[in-house]
Structure 1
Amino acid sequence: MTRATAAHDSSSPTRRAQVLGALRSADEPLGVIDVAHRLGVHANTARFHLDGLVAEGIVVRTLTEPDGPGRPRSVYAPRPGMNRAGGRDYLFLSRILLSRLAADGASAADDAREAGQAWGRHLASSPQPFQRPPSADEAVGRLTGLLADLDFSPEPDAEAPDKSLRLRHCPFLELAEEFGGVVCPVHLGLMQGALDQMGAPITAVGLEPFAEPDACVVRLARRTAPGVERKPSAAGIAPAAGTAASNTGYRHSNKNRT
């Protein structure tokens, strides 16, 4: 069998799974010929799949010293631990956790916002000792940079950058559509925590999801006093259409959503 024929045989994922199964069922590492004999395939086919499994990080290849004259022999064994080459479904995990949080009712949004605030403080840097806090414009610039790094595609208002900004992209869009009552407060809290950590003279007082067909709108305002957080107004974040409004002070708008 040629190398090309072995490559053609590799088109079947079943064959590679059989090679891996042979290694897992063995009491010791196997060589190419060992695998070929166990599966009844050509040595080139066994070698092709073994090399592929090594490249994928599922199998490790080692050399054994020969019993007599000759070169060391390559043997193969499954890599210890869970197979990291499999698929991932973090969206499903997120839906499980968010559905549980949303089940807490009125307190869910406040809990979500507090979690966002904690992460916002973690992600932002505070002023160095004896360094003056940022101005409103500087704080907006730093917040915009942070949101851009998180893939929110922020866009400060051209006429009043210290009053509002638009988020043109949501990295959690599907989750926000399904669990906006807890996902959107996380976003609001993230901005509040970051601005608080910076020592900024402004804070985020509201987030209107899907306020425009292609953007969510964040409202900014001066703090009522240094170091005192300004609570979101009653026009903050609202539940998605078809869900009951909570008493958390959030308002979710879908008026322009298509």
Structure 2
Amino acid sequence: MNDVVTLSNVETPRTGPAGETIDPQRHRALGTASRASILEFVRAAGVGMTIAEVGERTGLHLSTARAHLDRLVDAGLLVKARASGGQPGRPAWRYRVAVAEAPAPAPYRALAAALLDHLSRRGHGDVRAEATRAGQAWGRHLAAATPPGGEPVDTLLDVLRGLGFNPRRHRTADGATEIHLHTCPFLELVNRNPDAICALHVGVVRGTLEHAGASPAGAVLEPFGAPDACVVRLALPNITEEPA
């Protein structure tokens, strides 16, 4: 009796340089010279670029520049956020190159995702204000689970580390307190609703400070405020910068 061997084609993922799996969506997003150039311009800018800055640099119409930038966001090559510097109003989007980062613990990502879904279904009210309020409640809860006894900034650093932000504290030239967030563990959620997720993080900061006995007033989050980090600016006394 002869054995019958059936051959079938098995499609395996193709790999790029250094064994990196090719992402078809990203490959298509870079299928035009304009988008490839825009990605390089944004990468070189460090702190990111606005639509107007990209238009000025490339000569593209603003609507065309916006379409290219958002295509790169959809492909996971860029992220966007509103960099306000703590000022009121709704500033322009600023785009920055996305980097591979470790995600937050699964329960936190699930909670944040559920909140975004809830806010999007409501379809009314100020999403940023509601996300900030929810974040404050979450921050108070996380701070309550942090060992007591430290300074408010220490408590905030513990909470942010637990969420996966890789925070580092700094002192500015004028003596102000800053915390640099070197990773964004909620990156996949940022692209779904940047306003809401950034406001949620502001709320977490303020709720943590409030629980730790410090005034949350004046605490703001500046997305892409440093070349390699988002920046939390705090109205707190001088601190000693952590060693590098």
Classify the TM-score, shorter chain.
0.3 to 0.5
TM-score normalised per structure 1:
0.42
- Larger Rg computed on CA atoms: 1
TM-score normalised per structure 2:
0.44
Larger relative contact order (C-alpha < 8 A, sep ≥ 6)? 2
